[in-house]
Structure 1
Amino acid sequence: MLGDVLGRAGRKIAKKIIPQFKQSLDIDFVTINGENLAGGFGITSKIYDEMKLSGVDAFTMGNHWRDKSDVHLIRQQHKDLVLPQNLNGISGVEYAPEFHLPHRNKTINIINLMGNFAMKEEYKNPFEFLQKEKEHFISKVKSGSNIVIADIHAEASSEKQAMAWYYDGILAALIGTHTHTPTSDERLTENGTAFLTDVGMTGPYDSVIGMNKTRVLTKFINPSVKLPHEVAENDLWLCGFLVEVSPQTNLSLACHRIQCRGVDEENWLISSIV
């Protein structure tokens, strides 16, 4: 999974490196958090098609999920755009979608939940969904054919970590997103759940969480000045999380934080797998 892929800069590095990863590391399934793909705000049909061609198998979303109206058309036409299951007033999002891997005889279930702390909108309590569905996912994993992974899009580290422990031994992986700031606490629990508090952003780090730093600084220093956000362009990083899943237990055997820092067009090589 790649963390929040932001704007044209993030798409550029992702489209270059995803095919390298899939081929060199024999990866079966690639997900990205796609809520920032279109100029930092939402996703469009054109960008969806562009990223699919690069090898993305599924898209999770977050608080910017509806910033572009195309999202509704994409949802109607494709089953691989996953909206958070705890959105209010949106039908059809309350189930974790399934993705079949016939060559592995496995099915991947994707949980995507919004945290509640420090969000501008109110969402249903994510723990209510997890509590309601816990036995369901336990039976899925024990059936032998289902792997369950989660993208928790939340501001608070505590929410993400609490969810990881609540579903310890059920999830193959819980990957935190939203802050655009990678953490270095990747771990594999004794019960086989791989976990990372925040995978970070794939995009420009010569910025303030991906946006032009001069404009952001101006807004902080003088709040009365209204400047539109502008995606930055320089110091590209790719941030991801690689998980190795046991075909016997459907839980994880190993996990690796991925950071390709300071990538430019002359140096697209994979630079760091921790």
Structure 2
Amino acid sequence: MSKKLKIFFISDIVGESGLNLLETMFPPIRDKYSPDFIIANAENSHEGRGVNRSIVQRLYDLDVDVITGGNHSFDKWKIFSYMKTDEKLLRPMNYPKGNAGYGYGIYSVKDSDLKIGVLNLQGRTFMPQIDDPFSTGDWALERIKQETDIVFVDFHAEATAEKLAFAWDFDGKVSAVIGTHTHIPTNDARILPKGTGYLTDAGMTGPFDSVIGMNKKTSINRFRLGTPQRYQVADKDNRMCGVYLEIDPGTAKCTHIEPVIFPEFNNTSTS
């Protein structure tokens, strides 16, 4: 491999629309960036909530190395037994002890002697009140750092302030903190002073003719009526959101961070 470690992160895959787009569009994007390691968040991939074994295999067939999750990781109970066996399928580590699955892993990078730690955490602001992600991150890093200094964090959270606070607290301790959950790509990709690559939210891979991936009409009724509505995934204007990063293996610092949206949005008026 080259002197830089190239990582590609695929953000929040939503439903069959997102999966179909990924299977069509990601291979040429993968060839363009030639990543050494691929991570994908798939907590919304099965009918908009959760994941199943078939989807996990479809992502592995696309050369995805690790799958991360979020607050919907536990929505489909049939995946629980499998989550106990697959160390490449992560869920937020700060869910209480006793839940199925792994919250972090240390993985070999193909065609090299490098290892990378991937840590999945979930925020608590406007989210379920699970364990503290900051102290959980400290605990995990103590263990990961025994094998590698290269650490990628998928921080799944609602509040931008919580994501940014975590990134500042862990600047220089991890190689990258990439935010997920809101499905809206933010325009603040940067490298913090001590070398941590940061993006508040990487967006989603799925239908943008929607309300964060869901059918517009039912989503609007949910807010207008204040009552639960049928959870229905949209299927139009599909786009892939992701992040490409380059890490210096010697220092474990991020040297390049580049949001990727395909197809790009057209900001020109049609009137």
User: Structure 1 length normalisation: TM-score?
Assistant: 0.87
Count of equivalent residues? 257
Query: 2:106 matched to 1:98?
Result: yes
Q: Tell me which residue corresponds to 1:53.
A: 61
**CA distance 1:180–1:6, shift in 2 (3 Å):** same
**CA distance 1:25–1:44, shift in 2 (3 Å):** same
Q: Tell me which residue corresponds to 2:12.
A: 4
The Cα of 1:167 is off from its aligned counterpart by 1.1
Query: 2:31 matched to 1:23?
Result: yes
Kindly report the root-mean-square deviation, in angstroms, between the aligned alpha carbons of the 2 structures.
1.9
Q: Deviations over 1:37-67 (max 9, x none)?
A: 0011000111111121122111111000111
Partner of residue 257 from structure 2, selected from 255, 260, 274: 255
Partner of residue 197 from structure 1, selected from 170, 192, 200: 200
Partner of residue 78 from structure 2, selected from 55, 70, 89: 70
Q: Tell me which residue corresponds to 1:245.
A: 247
Distance (whole Å) between structure 2 residues aligned to residue 17 and residue 260 of structure 1: 8
Query: 2:175 matched to 1:172?
Result: yes
Distance (whole Å) between structure 1 residues aligned to residue 67 and residue 179 of structure 2: 14
The Cα of 1:136 is off from its aligned counterpart by 4.8
Asked if structure 1 preserves the Cα contact closer than 8 Å seen for 2:90 and 2:102, the reply is no
The Cα of 1:70 is off from its aligned counterpart by 3.0
The Cα of 1:196 is off from its aligned counterpart by 0.1
Q: Tell me which residue corresponds to 1:271.
A: none
The Cα of 1:184 is off from its aligned counterpart by 0.4
Distance (whole Å) between structure 2 residues aligned to residue 51 and residue 150 of structure 1: 19
- Between the two structures, name the one with larger relative contact order (CA 8 Å, sep ≥ 6): 2
For structure 1, list consecutive stretches of 5 or more residues without a partner in the other structure: 264-274
User: Structure 2 length normalisation: TM-score?
Assistant: 0.88
The Cα of 1:73 is off from its aligned counterpart by 2.8
Distance (whole Å) between structure 1 residues aligned to residue 264 and residue 186 of structure 2: 17
Query: 2:132 matched to 1:125?
Result: yes
The Cα of 1:3 is off from its aligned counterpart by 1.1
Q: Tell me which residue corresponds to 1:211.
A: 214
Distance (whole Å) between structure 1 residues aligned to residue 155 and residue 172 of structure 2: 17
For structure 2, list consecutive stretches of 5 or more residues without a partner in the other structure: 1-8, 266-271
Asked if structure 1 preserves the Cα contact closer than 8 Å seen for 2:150 and 2:249, the reply is no
Partner of residue 52 from structure 2, selected from 44, 47, 51: 44
Asked if structure 1 preserves the Cα contact closer than 8 Å seen for 2:149 and 2:174, the reply is no
Asked if structure 1 preserves the Cα contact closer than 8 Å seen for 2:90 and 2:120, the reply is yes
Asked if structure 2 preserves the Cα contact closer than 8 Å seen for 1:6 and 1:210, the reply is yes
Asked if structure 2 preserves the Cα contact closer than 8 Å seen for 1:30 and 1:55, the reply is yes
> Secondary structure at the residue paired with 2:163?
helix
> Secondary structure at the residue paired with 1:81?
coil
Distance (whole Å) between structure 1 residues aligned to residue 52 and residue 143 of structure 2: 33
Distance (whole Å) between structure 1 residues aligned to residue 226 and residue 110 of structure 2: 54
The Cα of 1:160 is off from its aligned counterpart by 0.7
**CA distance 1:25–1:72, shift in 2 (3 Å):** same
Q: Deviations over 1:148-185 (max 9, x none)?
A: 01000000011111111111112111000001111000
> Secondary structure at the residue paired with 1:49?
helix
Q: Tell me which residue corresponds to 1:108.
A: 116
Structure 1 stretch displaced more, 45-54 or 171-180? 45-54
Report the residue type matching 2:62 in the other structure: S
> Secondary structure at the residue paired with 1:258?
strand
Q: Tell me which residue corresponds to 2:6.
A: none
The Cα of 1:131 is off from its aligned counterpart by 3.4
